[in-house]
């Protein structure tokens, strides 16, 4: 989402190279570029003005510390101010109340409220919370049905509601049911509209007054741009918002909403929707997002994703195998691809890498479609061929290519990529860290 903004800001850093210190003149030039970059990213004008003023104040006359160049010092200031603009640090949901804790989901139709409700239920269930979801959207039968289906998918209970019932009565009944059945959290999905109207705001305010939620989350589509700011302002006036959830952060919009909505609502961004999958909701970390915007990547989130998805037992087996000198075979190669897919695929991983490394990898990394072909080719091999690729002579390659529906050339490409990865694994086994780093390209399937 932030590719264009990252590119513009990286140019600003290059312009400051070679300067002895940050001065009024070079800061003014740099801030002009920052202002243009933010406006192009669809950040609200008042937010841009305030942000630029803060960066100017913190940067002016700042001495270069140690080995830092003025460019690096300026990036440090911009990073801190970007993080502050988006909230400073991650803020958790407040469940310090007598159960059940009620969470009210608010936002326009199409912002992703219903899907986000299910994603949040999935996230809380993973935290050992007993969750009840309920739809108070009596104007769209499909929304009620969708939430019930998603609730079943994530393994939480859905309180029944029907068209014709009063939204306030539905919400009250759900909270009462949750109290009697010892639920920890009730997620109330409210009705949305295609645009803000008085009836909608009055209805959601009535629900809020009736169930007294501990959290009122504003769901906003990150692809809305300036419209998101106007919507946020209207909801802030109608409800005491406690947090924001940004959806569709994996889209190709300019990202202005992410930088504007915290400033407009005064409420912290608590979660971000990063994919359409049911587990595609993450805690929002302003400092990490600031790093991604500045092209530094988000390695911490990448590590956390790995911890959540990687099969530790399988990883330990592979480590023992490599250390014992038994080698890294095509079955292991296929298993590594499967683990990578669990983490959201190559695109999701590259998005969290530092910009330079991501661009380098992007130039040579295979698409998800080609990775599926790799799996097809390996599946067309016999167990013996996967263990001993040296058995693969011309006739065997033709058989495998026919079985996988690919050309012999593609089989050869896979074997070349596998050999590169195998070399790196051997270096790891020997403890050659520097050599391993030089051979890093072989770690990603498709890198040549």
Is the same domain home to 8 and 140?
no
For the ranges 38-47, 54-63, 208-217, the lowest mean pLDDT is seen at: 54-63
Domain-embedded: residue 396: yes
Is the same domain home to 366 and 390?
yes
Is the same domain home to 70 and 156?
no
Q: For residue 346, which of 331, 361, 327, 325 has the smallest C-alpha distance?
A: 361
Is the same domain home to 229 and 333?
no
Is the same domain home to 257 and 108?
yes
Higher local confidence (pLDDT), 50 or 337:
50
Burial status of residue 175 (CB atoms within 10 A of its CB: 0-12, 13-18, 19 or more): buried
**pLDDT band at 17, cuts 50/70/90?**
low
What pLDDT, on a 0 to 100 scale, did the predictor assign at position 363? Answer: 45
**pLDDT band at 1, cuts 50/70/90?**
very low
Contacts 24+ apart (CB under 8 A), 424-430: 425/322, 425/327, 425/328, 426/322, 426/327, 426/328, 428/322, 429/322, 429/323, 429/325
What pLDDT, on a 0 to 100 scale, did the predictor assign at position 347? Answer: 52
Higher local confidence (pLDDT), 56 or 172:
172
CB atoms within 10 A of CB 210: 15
CB atoms within 10 A of CB 308: 11
CATH number of the CATH domain containing 155: 3.40.50.300
Q: Is the pLDDT of residue 224 over 80?
A: no
- Domain boundary, last residue among 278, 295, 312: 295
Q: Is the pLDDT of residue 87 over 80?
A: no
Give the range of the structural domain holding residue 251, as residue numbers without chain letter. 101-295
Domain-embedded: residue 414: yes
Is the same domain home to 279 and 399?
no
**pLDDT band at 355, cuts 50/70/90?**
very low
Domain-embedded: residue 92: no
**pLDDT band at 178, cuts 50/70/90?**
very high
**Across all residues in the chain, what is the average pLDDT?**
75
Domain-embedded: residue 346: yes
Domain-embedded: residue 94: no
What pLDDT, on a 0 to 100 scale, did the predictor assign at position 444? Answer: 41
What pLDDT, on a 0 to 100 scale, did the predictor assign at position 118? Answer: 92
Higher local confidence (pLDDT), 383 or 225:
383
CA distance 81 to 36: 17
What pLDDT, on a 0 to 100 scale, did the predictor assign at position 103? Answer: 92
For 272, the enclosing helix (H) or strand (E) is: strand 269-273
Q: Is the pLDDT of residue 349 over 70?
A: no
What pLDDT, on a 0 to 100 scale, did the predictor assign at position 149? Answer: 92
- Domain boundary, last residue among 59, 85, 111: 85
pLDDT tens, residue by residue, 413-436: 888 888 777 776 666 555 544 444
Tally of domains in the chain: 3
Is the same domain home to 57 and 161?
no
Q: Which two tokens stand for residue 107?
A: 């936002």
Is the same domain home to 55 and 133?
no
* Model pTM score: 0.62
Domain-embedded: residue 432: yes
Is the same domain home to 194 and 272?
yes
Q: Is the pLDDT of residue 219 over 70?
A: yes
CATH number of the CATH domain containing 369: 1.10.260.30
Is the same domain home to 388 and 436?
yes
Q: Is the pLDDT of residue 401 over 70?
A: yes
**pLDDT band at 69, cuts 50/70/90?**
low
Domain-embedded: residue 95: no
- Domain boundary, last residue among 275, 295, 315: 295
What pLDDT, on a 0 to 100 scale, did the predictor assign at position 61? Answer: 59
Is the same domain home to 282 and 248?
yes
What pLDDT, on a 0 to 100 scale, did the predictor assign at position 175? Answer: 92
**pLDDT band at 37, cuts 50/70/90?**
confident
CATH number of the CATH domain containing 44: 1.20.120.140
Domain-embedded: residue 93: no
Mean pLDDT of the region 42-55: 83
Q: Is the pLDDT of residue 132 over 90?
A: yes
Is the same domain home to 192 and 110?
yes
């Amino acid at each position: 989402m932030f590719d264009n903004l990252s590119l513009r800001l990286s140019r600003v850093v290059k312009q400051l190279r070679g300067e002895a210190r940050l001065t009024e003149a070079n800061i003014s030039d740099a801030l002009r570029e920052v202002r243009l970059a933010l406006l192009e990213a669809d950040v609200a004008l008042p937010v841009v003005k305030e942000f630029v003023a803060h960066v100017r104040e913190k940067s002016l006359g700042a001495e270069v510390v140690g080995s830092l160049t003025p460019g690096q010092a300026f990036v440090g200031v911009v990073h801190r101010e970007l993080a502050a603009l988006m909230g400073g640090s991650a803020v958790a949901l407040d469940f310090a109340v007598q159960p059940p804790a009620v969470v009210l989901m608010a936002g326009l139709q199409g912002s992703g409220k219903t899907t986000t409700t299910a994603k949040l239920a999935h996230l809380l269930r993973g935290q050992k919370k007993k969750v009840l979801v309920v739809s108070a959207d009596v104007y769209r039968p499909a929304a009620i049905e969708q939430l019930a289906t998603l609730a079943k998918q994530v393994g939480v209970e859905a309180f029944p509601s029907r068209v014709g019932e009063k939204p306030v009565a539905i919400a009250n009944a759900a909270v009462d049911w949750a109290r009697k059945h010892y639920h920890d959290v009730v997620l109330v999905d409210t009705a949305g509209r295609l645009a803000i109207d008085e009836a909608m705001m009055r209805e959601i305010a009535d629900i809020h007054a009736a169930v007294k939620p501990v959290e009122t989350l504003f769901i906003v589509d990150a692809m809305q741009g300036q419209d998101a700011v106007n919507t946020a302002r209207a909801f802030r006036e109608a409800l005491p918002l406690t947090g924001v959830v940004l959806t569709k952060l994996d889209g190709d919009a300019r990202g202005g909403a992410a930088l504007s909505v915290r400033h407009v609502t005064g409420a912290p961004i608590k979660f971000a929707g990063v994919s359409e999958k049911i587990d595609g909701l993450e805690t929002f970390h302003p400092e990490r997002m600031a790093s991604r915007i500045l092209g530094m990547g988000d390695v911490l989130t990448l590590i956390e994703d790995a911890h959540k998805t990687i099969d530790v037992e399988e990883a330990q087996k592979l480590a023992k195998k490599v250390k014992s000198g038994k080698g890294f075979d095509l079955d292991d190669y296929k298993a590594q691809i499967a683990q990578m897919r669990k983490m959201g695929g190559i695109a999701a991983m590259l998005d969290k890498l530092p910009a330079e490394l991501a661009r380098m990898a992007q130039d040579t990394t295979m698409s998800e479609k080609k990775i599926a072909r790799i799996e097809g080719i390996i599946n067309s091999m016999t167990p013996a061929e996967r263990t001993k690729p040296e058995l693969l002579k011309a006739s065997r390659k033709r058989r495998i290519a026919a079985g996988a529906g690919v050309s012999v050339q593609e089989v050869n490409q896979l074997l070349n990529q596998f050999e590169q990865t195998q070399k790196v694994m051997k270096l790891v086994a020997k403890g050659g860290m520097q050599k391993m780093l030089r051979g890093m390209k072989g770690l990603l399937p498709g890198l040549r």
